[in-house]
Structure 1
Amino acid sequence: MRVLAKFGGTSLGNGDRVNRAADSVAAAVENGHEVAVVASAMGSTTDFLLDAIAFEADEADRAEIVSMGERTSVRMLKAALGARGINAVFLEPGHPDWPVITNARGEVDVEETQRRAKALADQLDGVVPVITGFLAQDHAGNTTTLGRGGSDTTAVMLGNYMGADEVVIVTDVEGVMTGDPSVVEGARNVGEITVDELRNLSFRGAEVIAPSALSYKSGNLSVRVVHYQHGDLLTGGTSIEGQFENLIDLREEPLACLTVAGRAIRNRPGINAVLSTALKEADINVDAVASGMDSLTYYVDASVAERAETILHECVVEDETLSSVTVEHDVAVIRVTGGELPNQPGVIQQIVNPLAENHINVHDLITSATSVAMFVDWADREEALRIIQSEFSD
């Protein structure tokens, strides 16, 4: 099996942890696996170096300075592996076999990086390359960086391009947890999670794996997150399943839009639970929910709109916080889904402006880290779909 192991800064935070990392790599090699390693800067080295730049430095100088953390890590790991009889070589920008190349805009040159990564993969038999994470090199040979979370991006990208069977992210958390163990009791490890679920969590504060890295995960590439104390690269942790699918989808059946208004509804704890529970108990599925300063809106199947209105009206009558419920019929929803959406500045404008130019009114816009849902008149659905498809056809 071909494995790419990425060791985060915490997992290389001191000599004992470097030894633990080297032991896990050596064990995998001795069991007959091909292993490549991506290393982050040890501990908080990168933050220390950035804080130490108390002067005006251009981007080239900054990149060279902060690169010293990763450059030190790969030398430490290479030496530790050598002490265990493992034939290892460290790779950093400037090395003839360095794989990660960026273009003039600072973006990854996919074609050249793929070519170099494949050439590196062809050398894995009997050799463990230890590669600096986060860093890249432009076509002129200058050191560049991949931005925040760049070591994770390096790992998953090279795992993909090198034909790895699995990428193992070694970090200071026991995989993905059901909640923050420092806040909630009984938090436990999640054995599996999809890329869509994890990306939504990552963009909302979960520090497990950089969201940018997940864009490089293919369906046949396994990615796993393990704790550095686990000591085994091949078992445990959380497995990240699937890959991002770029999709523009028009819901085939119409929806009804039910809006409940109320005075300072946003300050009424549990009001959404009250209304949602009432719909649930009537076996009415909610397709989407939108909230305003003084309202909550529920999108349900048009076929159950009348029953849903009756149920929500009963809630309005019983709760003095609520004023009224109204229904809008024949609403369509178009969803744009894709792992790259968060990396596309102006993506909302790219959707809304063409619709406005064609006099199509957007009733609601609901976003997550990986999708945008537009609600329009049912009569406008086909034209809206055509416009959105043309915007994302490239």
Structure 2
Amino acid sequence: MCACHAVRRVVVKFGGKSLADAKRIRRAAEAVAREVKEGVQVAVVVSAIGDTTDQLMQMAEKACRGNVNPKDLDDILSMGERLSARIFSAALKSLGVKSRYFDPSNDDWPIITDDNFTDADPIIRECHPKIEKCILPLLNQSIVPVIPGFIGKTADGHVTTLGRGGSDTTAFILGGALKADEVILVTDVEGIFTADPKQVRMPRKLQFIETKRLAALSDQGAKFIHQKALKYKDPKINVRVISYVHDRLDAEGTVITGDFPKTSIKLVNPDKIMKLTIISESLTKNNVFLNEIYELTADRGIKLHGVSTGDNSITIYISQNNAGNIPNLIHKKIACYKDDFALTIKKNLLAIKIEGIRLNETIRMLNKLLDLVKANEVEIEGILPTFLRVILFIDSKSEEFVRNLLERLMGEINIEGAHPPISC
């Protein structure tokens, strides 16, 4: 248990399929009631019942001939979760559990967002004080608050929705503000698997997975938990994914640990980089030659920062400090193939690494960096994209300018991603 409260405290989110009909809602309420009767403080987040959100979306789009106003659409879509919260709270009361549902029409609604309708971002500095003031006292009185997930409200009172993974986002924000011992996501699957069970036979269920790894999988299209939701997970609070079929909240599943990695932009290391470019149409298609290049650098302990290939060229980026006579060795190796070729060498480069767990964040930062670099006439020697990161190579004559530029960009990242400290 968290040191700041004497009893176990959990946030439980029920997905739409776990609330698909009256029977499932009753079983979910019974699972919560059992925990409450054992002295556990439980805050509940509910999704819309079954496929209600999709049905509301289709109905609104058809009625408006595809021209529905985003603000109106959010108000319409919110009705699924708002109805679900009312029914779930009533089910808890019927089991003898004190409960209160929240609604964005209330003054004490806790999830405050910007006005980016249909994909709003929560304003954490506004959410946490509201949660501590309006929800925490209910838990201390053994009252179960039921909060519609996926929904927010602007400072001037307009209903918003949080986009993909919105109910998970709500649960993670509540968990962090309440200093919960655990966040439990009740879904239609037994946990998180090594592959999609619908596409791969007999995948293995993971007992644990780090948030960073899960976010990377999500960025590549895996449908586990959306990245936007993971961004709000408290690093000190584990998340357990379980199936509703067990009818209890202590069921085993997959535990998500750790925190969401931050976007970063920095010099790879203080060493200078050497770029070797081989112009040869035939060698670019020769895997044996490429393996020989890898072996040449590895055998001599030379750090290889990356390799890129084009239709008629191969570019190799290596650490310059211990490169020794590697250009001569590579030239000699190429000559063995008796093909027409040219070898160019560029020394004293800097390598800047841009890394963001979301691919669109990486691209956004790269575009911002490229604009500033070009505006200051700094020569770009190469761009090397890799998994969720990009390395930019530039002439080291601009080192002082680059260091100042990176400091400025990291300041912008820290401001954008700043979260206030969480008090108990």
TM-score normalised by the chain length of structure 2: 0.77
Q: Deviations over 1:139-161 (max 9, x none)?
A: 33322212222212212122222
- Structure 1 residue 355 and structure 2 residue 373: aligned? yes
Q: Deviations over 1:91-138 (max 9, x none)?
A: 121134310122455543333222111111232120111111111122
The residue number in structure 2 matching 1:387 is: 405
Structure 1 portions without partners, runs of 5+: none
- Give 2:319's match in structure 1, choosing from 276, 301, 311: 301
The residue number in structure 2 matching 1:210 is: 226
Q: Which moved more, 1:119-128 or 1:28-37?
A: 28-37
- Give 1:113's match in structure 2, choosing from 127, 144, 147: 127
The residue number in structure 2 matching 1:198 is: 214
- Structure 1 residue 365 and structure 2 residue 388: aligned? no
The residue number in structure 2 matching 1:374 is: 392
Q: Which moved more, 1:113-122 or 1:9-18?
A: 9-18
Task: Give the alignment of 1:174-253 within 5 angstroms.
Answer: 174-234=190-250, 235-250=252-267, 251-253=269-271
Residue aligned with 2:138, SS: coil
Q: Deviations over 1:368-390 (max 9, x none)?
A: 78654322234434421221221
Residue aligned with 2:42, SS: strand
Change (3 A) 1:158 1:370: farther
Task: Give the alignment of 1:84-123 within 5 angstroms.
Answer: 84-104=95-115, 107-119=121-133, 120-123=135-138
Q: Deviations over 1:60-105 (max 9, x none)?
A: 3212221121122222322333333322222121134310122455
Residue aligned with 1:89, SS: strand
Change (3 A) 1:148 1:305: farther
How far 1:34 sits from its partner (Å)? 1.6
The residue number in structure 2 matching 1:7 is: 14
Residue aligned with 1:57, SS: coil
Aligned identity (percent) is 31
| Rg larger for | 2
2:237/2:257 contact within 8 Å kept: no
Q: Which moved more, 1:157-166 or 1:343-352?
A: 343-352
Which residue type is aligned with residue 157 of structure 1?
A: I
Report the Cα distance in structure 2 between the residues aligned to 1:312 and 1:178, rounded to whole angstroms.
Answer: 44
The residue number in structure 1 matching 2:421 is: none
Which residue type is aligned with residue 3 of structure 1?
A: V
Q: CA RMSD in A?
A: 3.7
How far 1:314 sits from its partner (Å)? 5.3
Q: Which moved more, 1:209-218 or 1:367-376?
A: 367-376
- Structure 1 residue 127 and structure 2 residue 143: aligned? yes
The residue number in structure 1 matching 2:55 is: 48
Report the Cα distance in structure 2 between the residues aligned to 1:109 and 1:128, rounded to whole angstroms.
Answer: 24
1:171/1:228 contact within 8 Å kept: yes
How far 1:205 sits from its partner (Å)? 0.5
Change (3 A) 1:131 1:253: same
How far 1:212 sits from its partner (Å)? 1.0
Return the structure number with greater strand share.
1
Q: Deviations over 1:304-351 (max 9, x none)?
A: 57559857985996799x977765443322224456884698433211
- Give 2:163's match in structure 1, choosing from 147, 150, 155: 147
Report the Cα distance in structure 2 between the residues aligned to 1:308 and 1:174, rounded to whole angstroms.
Answer: 55
- Give 1:68's match in structure 2, choosing from 65, 76, 79: 79
Residue aligned with 1:176, SS: coil
Q: Which moved more, 1:363-372 or 1:218-227?
A: 363-372
Report the Cα distance in structure 1 between the residues aligned to 2:132 and 2:283, rounded to whole angstroms.
Answer: 57
TM-score normalised by the chain length of structure 1: 0.83
Q: Deviations over 1:236-273 (max 9, x none)?
A: 3132323433544322323344556665999x698899
Change (3 A) 1:85 1:152: same
Report the Cα distance in structure 2 between the residues aligned to 1:360 and 1:243, rounded to whole angstroms.
Answer: 33
Q: Which moved more, 1:307-316 or 1:220-229?
A: 307-316
How far 1:296 sits from its partner (Å)? 5.3
Which residue type is aligned with residue 362 of structure 1?
A: I
1:224/1:240 contact within 8 Å kept: no
The residue number in structure 1 matching 2:418 is: none
Report the Cα distance in structure 1 between the residues aligned to 2:182 and 2:111, rounded to whole angstroms.
Answer: 19
Q: Deviations over 1:162-190 (max 9, x none)?
A: 22232222223443322233333442123
How far 1:221 sits from its partner (Å)? 2.5
Which residue type is aligned with residue 116 of structure 1?
A: K
2:11/2:183 contact within 8 Å kept: yes
